[in-house]
Structure 1
């Protein structure tokens, strides 16, 4: 490429901004993150499809925190924080055929970086792909862009220099589970300071002026910087020559080189606020101490207070840069009564402002499927690699409004409903009585049923809503329901009987093996021979405890739900046609 053309391309890149001047245009957002050969993640690439909210679940030490670290890492490109330690390489060794690699896909809506970098998705959105590769520890990675013209990775990257490119992507905010008090204080302070910085950048002395006052100051600094560099070049050369003369007397053939290049990110040289702002907390009109001197519970509560403020600010800063919150184990140090409120804060954040969220958690309370913006990903460690399985995506689940209402009510009744996302075989039961009976069997034989999760739907219709979710990621699960009767006691059509057709339809054209068993006409009648009028769960416990035959039948029913080859007890039927239930 001729020099003139190169200069022109560079100028275009520097002037490009993904943040549209039109406030009605969406801000850029992350679509996916792919990682390979990084820490415990091996040569088999893992890919995380990003939503407004991504919840990473899985056992301890499975690699969830490494996924959060990956995005933060590439956003540090251009600084030493982007350099890897030898321990970040697979097996703490540098293998040129298995180098750490992170790929990021960003959706842009306006002022794209050039047609050669834009891939159109099936939805018609503009997609930009970038890749970072680390060839050795303690050195900057190589960054590449996907060029659609050559259908290959290209050294000529979109958006140019790292600091310019980073300013075009959503800004990360990482909050580790066990950060030091000092680092936690910095993380909270940075969240608040970033808001102020964004506001400062929008100030205009005259609303008719083209650029903000901040932009004009940066432009002035750039011009001044160019003049300084130009005028100082002779002085730099003189310093190098003169000092090198004295150096040569002691170390022959040695000289110095003074690297006094201008700071590429001019914004680093100017801030209207002090470089190290402090955040303190204390009793009103009393003593205030630094956040890092507060207890862990107080620091974590302050974090949630800050996030709550961000979610409540609505469109107050609607033209600000988009953000990504990377949060490790949000349940840590929270009182049980505060966990649900914390979950609500997270789900409100993307709805009101330009935020995406990725969290790791061991708490099912932080999952709310009644929302349309949540993806659940299970992270597990195999013998050789880390594996990621997308368990749930709203666009594929296709929940209707009744389903969302059902799941929302279940969240209220049972905050641990979503434990099935964390592993194990799922069995959906209709009510409290069978849930209690099976729980008693599980407690009596803990080793035999340690990997079994009983989901209490609390209603026949809700079974359908829960099953839509399970069909997303489970190739086999079980359903236990009451057959009910075709007619009610007053000889009218029974709506509960009609739901049997819907349960039967769950197996249609899905390729999923659903083990469906019905109790005639309900669980109590099938197992106990009679239906208790009051305190049904307690009555079930007493009957199972006092009658070995009943306990045997309940265990047989549970075993037949776990293993489709096992026969259920009398009055319980594994059915496929409605006539089987009559």
Structure 2
């Protein structure tokens, strides 16, 4: 189960209703004080109330509305096994959370938070078993908050609406069992770190508490403690009865030993063993965010529920390197769980899906339609040669960066126009090991980033590393392969007649087409073998560099399509990857 979209109205600075979609990784972007944090908080509030609603007594939620003192039942400790967390447990108070400028109205409209959930096929089946209702995978739950009222309704149109209204508590329970959240504020304090630690500890302790050894040990400890308490009770009864003769007994209620299983102190040795409380804000922030990753894994592996991470200003207190590392972390988590960030840092822009960046301006939200929109709202200023860039294609070498624009230009008139206009920019990392660093540098431009690698062993290994380490998603990594070859380089995609004359002019030797046909070798290896047979003097590495530069110069001057027919499918796929569906919608 995942959240597909959220609608918010009359909540803090959010006046008129605003709607925004949630992807696997969603970024609420915009300047400070424009409503990003309030939108993020509204998601946490909605999930918290849905979670609580399913745990309330049926007689309280029968009408779908709580009034008066009943409202406080939502925000009390409705789950004794979980420690309260003032950062996670978002409350609603009308005097502070309803827009101040509307509070004087004679009949103010309520705060509205609507969260739409998407169910998988298996969840639709489970929904029918849990509620007796059919569902098409769309489940919108609407919460309304007034001065003294809170209501929850399932907003399903049509004939089945009445059934959904009656089963709202069961539906809320169904949702809360399958989706959880962590709210991480911009100020990541010691208190929040300890709270996250105890949340993590409670998951592990819950598993331990189910074991027979633990249950037996717990019974023994509680028996020993009960004997001590009984003695205290007897002594107190004798003492107190001299003052109050009518007292027949004194009973002391002891807390279960499990209630004291909490963590109160953390010491970190990073060269100097110091309490986390005495560390700097940056260390506290990173510590909390590291706990989030661990907590996400624990919850995902220990239950069938999905976790939504809501992080406000992830860049707060962090230096630039840590910010890049944090994006890597969020990219990894988003493969399994939903992540929602509120930020004004272009590093966190979702480049895989432009519309997953929600522009927040004037306390309203709208999906970004282009990179230009994102730059405008963030105030990103670029050098002239990048002002119009929307896609940066990073290649391993300089020749790749020179040949690929020709390939795309011959494939499509629109691609040729975009390249000429600077919307598509090619940059060479000059080595696969430098690609990660170049990706980090280019993230500040808010461009979509695509990595193109050779179809050889080194390129394949680099593709896996970039994905596994969360540096860039697999969808944005493209490996060039020529059909029928075990390993390929970009030169393997070219018709040899395009460059044979140029090689002859450069090296004074006559190279032949059949010298580059061995399918078990990539182009560099075939060239080196041919140069050796033809008696070309000089070092192999220098000759190879010269040959590749010669070919890239030759390609720039061709007037007809220079690529093999067997390589066109992979090049066409590259064109689709540059301006494909996943990049823009």
TM-score by length of 2: 0.48
* Larger helix share, 1 or 2: 2
Greater RCO (CA < 8 Å, at least 6 residues apart) = 2
TM-score by length of 1: 0.48
